[in-house]
Amino acid sequence: MRDEDKTKEQLLEELTALRKELAEMGEQKPKTKQVDLKEASDEAEDPWLPVETKLVVVSVTSGVVALVVLAILVHMFLLGGH
């Protein structure tokens, strides 16, 4: 089964088991309460790319256009009846 098909509980169980295994191998102590998220904010390794700007701009622009067009259509053909 692929990771994305697993439930949260299954993933957590696997994670706990892996940590225990590593700890037993003497490579790492299991972390029970602490979650290391320092890497989550490591901007130097993950700089903002032009494609991200493109993704955000294209999506927001499409969203605004969709909002206006669909709102007009809904008001013309649907909400007028209520």
Task: Please report, as ranges, the residues that interact with another protein according to CB under 8 A.
Answer: 1-9, 11-12, 14-15, 33-43, 45-46, 48-49, 51-52, 55-57, 59-60, 62-64, 66-67, 70-71, 73-74, 78-79, 81-82
Q: What is the 3-state secondary structure (H, E, C) of 15-46?
A: HHHHHHHHHHCCCCCCCCCCCCCHHHHCCCCC
Select 11 or 23, whichever has its Cβ closest to another protein.
Answer: 11
Select 22 or 71, whichever has its Cβ closest to another protein.
Answer: 71
* CA 75/CA 55 separation, integer angstroms: 29
